């Protein structure tokens, strides 16, 4: 309809634009048609049972499902040892996900198994409008009534799955941590993985874990692969993988949930040593490993010009563990440490790719050189034997480097240099240097400086002890603080920078601190009572001073503050003596 409206609105001058619009619309139609066809192209036939194992004589449901295809299903196929009771009940569904549409139709029967044992449901072939579809066989276990084996399998479980149970040292093992769920409304909250030792681990990067429907032992179940690792054992013996724990919650109602916990059973892998004898040049355990040894694509190398020599390993396995081999380089070649580049991918089949070691080589003399690798070998776990790598040597021809401008420099071969001790002749053995008559190290100043740190630590320790002692005795601390406050006030008063208020407050605090009188109880009567233990002169002097200081703040014609400070200083000394 949209194309028709576009066509109606177009005029003759716009014929090229009209043809372009038709072309885009037709291409879009064919793309949609191909996507729809591919969506329906995933046809399958599946046989599903509602439980496995089943109890002898107890009815269970068996369903024949067809996805993306139509089939004339008049009666169920005959299965030896199984008797159909009723059916079928049919079901059909259609899904549209991301524009892809799929349909499914199922036929469900009620059936019983009459004898205990393992009943094999064979793979059936069904004729559909998409051709013949074949289902997978199922091993259905039938147990007597009341036996422990008749208990249904776990509805929520954590499983550690490996693709091998016995490997050689360094042979890859795929480990998958999976959650199997047969319930609805399950939310996985947390999971933990094993801490492994004795292996080199590589993680397979992939999508975030999500539930996928699958058929396990003929039963429909949801499975989520939480993580996939590729392990390379580094020591022989028994490798135990345990510690995969899952915490989840199942929604029982709109407001209530029930916790679910699942701990995976431990999995053991036997790690075998490599077969003897092991070559000394073995690189490790790999599969289909090759080595390429080549130089730059230059016809001839020039002296004193850098060239690249490349050693490349390709294959399957832990290529990151391959190090640089010990190569016997000619003496006239200056060789730098190789630059290592890896292009390695990790998937469900393990690791594969290449490791490239690039040597920067500078020939210092012209001539012909043969660059050979030492003997290299590896253990091929697919062939179960050691394989030797023998790349051909590199024939390197180095010619002289002629320079058109500037002075010419010649380089001799390293084999021509035989005397090295003469390189030391430029070191002067006779100088005008004289020893110092008074060196710093070991002198008085040096020893004095060395004594400062212990002296500082000792003073700090003494101050800390004093502070701790005063903290334990509040009375002593109060006396010390009142004495310091009075001393500061007397200094300010003698300079004329203090008033009767400040001097009187310091005198009161000093007297209260020395006599142990709290501020709330202080007064002339309390002072007189506390000073009764001293001589009469000291008592009278302090009472007179307190009265003078209190009256001096308000009475006119008060005595000079400096004179009162002198009297107060004498009275304080008399009180402390």
* pTM of the shown model: 0.52
What is the DSSP-derived secondary structure letter of residue 442? Answer: T
Range of lowest pLDDT (158-167, 258-267, 567-576) = 567-576
Same fold, 156-272 and 286-399: yes
Domain 286-399 has CATH 2.60.40: yes
pLDDT band at 139 (very low <50, low <70, confident <90, very high): confident
Q: Among 479, 561, 535, which residue's Cα sits nearest to residue 512?
A: 479
Structure tokens belonging to residue 137: 């066989």
Q: Which CATH class is domain 156-272?
A: mainly beta
Instruction: Quote the CA–CA distance of 58 and 151 in Å, as a whole number.
Output: 13
44-150: CATH architecture = Sandwich (2.60)
Q: Among 149, 159, 146, 155, which residue's Cα sits nearest to residue 118?
A: 149
Mean pLDDT in residue range 400-406: 58
Mean pLDDT in residue range 370-391: 93
The reported pLDDT for the residue numbered 36 is 42
The reported pLDDT for the residue numbered 23 is 55
Q: Would you say 510 and 482 are in contact if contact means Cβ atoms under 8 Å apart?
A: yes
DSSP-assigned beta bridge partners for residue 168? 272
Phi and psi at residue 128, to the nearest 5° = -130, 175
What is the tens place of the pLDDT at every residue in 116-133? 888 888 888 888 888 888
pLDDT at 408 over 50: no
Q: Read out DSSP for 90-157?
A: EEEEEEEETTEEEEEEEEEEEEEE-SSEEEEEPPPEEEEBTEEEEPPPEEEEEE-TT-GGGSPPPSEE
CB atoms within 10 A of CB 76: 18
The reported pLDDT for the residue numbered 11 is 34
What is the tens place of the pLDDT at every residue in 411-464? 444 444 444 444 555 566 677 776 666 677 777 787 888 888 888 888 988 888
pLDDT at 546 over 70: yes
What is the tens place of the pLDDT at every residue in 261-271? 889 999 999 99
Average pLDDT, the chain: 81
Q: Higher model confidence: residue 23 or residue 157? A: 157
What is the tens place of the pLDDT at every residue in 272-306? 999 999 999 899 999 999 999 999 876 578 888 89
List the chain domain ranges. Answer: 44-150, 156-272, 286-399, 472-576
pLDDT at 508 over 80: yes
What is the tens place of the pLDDT at every residue in 39-98? 444 788 888 887 788 888 888 888 888 888 888 888 888 888 888 888 888 888 887 777
Give the per-residue SS3 of 330-394: CCCEEECCCEEEEEEEEECCEEEEEEEEEEEEEECCCEEEEECCCCEEEEECCCCEEEEECCCCE
Residue written as token pair 């729809």: 36
pLDDT band at 356 (very low <50, low <70, confident <90, very high): very high
Instruction: Quote the CA–CA distance of 459 and 482 in Å, as a whole number.
Output: 24
pLDDT at 472 over 60: yes
User: Kind of pairing, strands 307-317 and 282-295?
Assistant: antiparallel
């Amino acid at each position: 309809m949209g194309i028709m409206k576009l066509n109606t609105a177009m005029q003759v001058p716009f014929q090229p634009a009209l043809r372009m619009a038709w072309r885009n619309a037709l291409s879009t139609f064919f793309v949609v048609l191909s996507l729809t066809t591919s969506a329906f192209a995933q046809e399958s036939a599946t046989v599903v049972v509602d439980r496995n194992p089943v109890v002898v004589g107890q009815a269970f449901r068996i369903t024949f499902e067809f996805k993306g295809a139509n089939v004339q299903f008049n009666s169920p196929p005959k299965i030896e040892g199984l008797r159909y009771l009723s059916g079928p009940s049919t079901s059909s569904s259609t899904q549209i996900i991301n524009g892809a549409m799929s349909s499914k139709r199922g036929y469900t029967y009620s059936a019983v198994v009459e004898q205990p044992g393992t009943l094999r449901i064979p793979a059936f072939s069904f004729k559909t409008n998409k051709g013949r579809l074949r289902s997978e066989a199922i091993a259905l276990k039938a147990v007597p009534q009341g036996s422990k084996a008749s208990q249904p399998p776990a509805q929520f479980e954590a499983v550690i799955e490996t693709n091998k149970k016995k490997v050689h040292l360094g042979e890859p093992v795929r480990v998958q941590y999976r959650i199997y769920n047969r319930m609805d409304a399950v939310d996985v909250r947390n999971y933990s993985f094993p801490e492994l030792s004795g292996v080199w681990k590589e993680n397979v990067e992939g999508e975030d874990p999500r539930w996928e429907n699958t058929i396990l032992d003929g039963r429909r179940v949801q499975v989520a692969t939480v993580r996939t690792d590729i392990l390379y054992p580094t020591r022989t013996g028994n490798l135990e993988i345990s510690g995969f724990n899952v915490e989840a919650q199942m929604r029982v109602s709109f407001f209530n949930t029930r916790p679910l916990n699942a701990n995976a059973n431990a999995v053991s892998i036997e790690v075998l040593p490599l077969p003897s004898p092991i070559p000394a040049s073995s690189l490790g355990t790999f599969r289909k490993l090759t080595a390429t040894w080549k130089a730059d694509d230059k016809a001839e190398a020039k002296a004193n010009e850098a060239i690249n020599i490349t050693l490349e390993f390709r294959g399957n396995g832990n290529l990151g563990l391959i190090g640089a081999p010990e190569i016997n380089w000619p003496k006239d070649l200056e060789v730098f440490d190789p630059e290592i580049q890896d292009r390695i991918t990790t998937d469900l089949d393990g690791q594969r790719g290449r490791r490239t070691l690039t040597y920067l080589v500078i020939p210092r003399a012209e001539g012909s050189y043969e660059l050979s690798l030492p003997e290299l070998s590896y253990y091929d776990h697919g062939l179960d034997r050691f394989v030797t790598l023998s790349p051909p040597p590199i024939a390197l021809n180095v010619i002289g480097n002629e320079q058109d401008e500037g002075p010419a420099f010649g380089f001799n071969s390293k084999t021509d240099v035989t005397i090295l001790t003469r390189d030391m002749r430029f070191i002067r053995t006779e100088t005008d240097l004289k020893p110092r008559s008074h060196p710093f190290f070991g002198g008085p100043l040096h020893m004095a400086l060395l004594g400062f740190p212990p002296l500082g630590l000792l003073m700090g320790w003494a101050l800390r002890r004093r502070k701790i002692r005063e903290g334990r005795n509040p009375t002593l601390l109060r006396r010390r603080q009142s004495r310091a406050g009075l001393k500061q006030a007397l200094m300010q008063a003698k300079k004329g920078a203090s008033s009767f208020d400040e001097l009187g407050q310091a005198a009161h605090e000093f007297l209260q601190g020395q006599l142990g009188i709290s501020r709330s109880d202080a007064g002339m009567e309390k002072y007189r009572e506390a000073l009764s233990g001293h001589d009469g002169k000291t008592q009278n002097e302090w009472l007179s001073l307190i009265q003078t200081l209190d009256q001096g703040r308000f009475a006119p014609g008060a005595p000079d503050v400096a004179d009162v400070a002198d009297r107060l200083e004498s009275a304080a000394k008399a009180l402390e003596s």
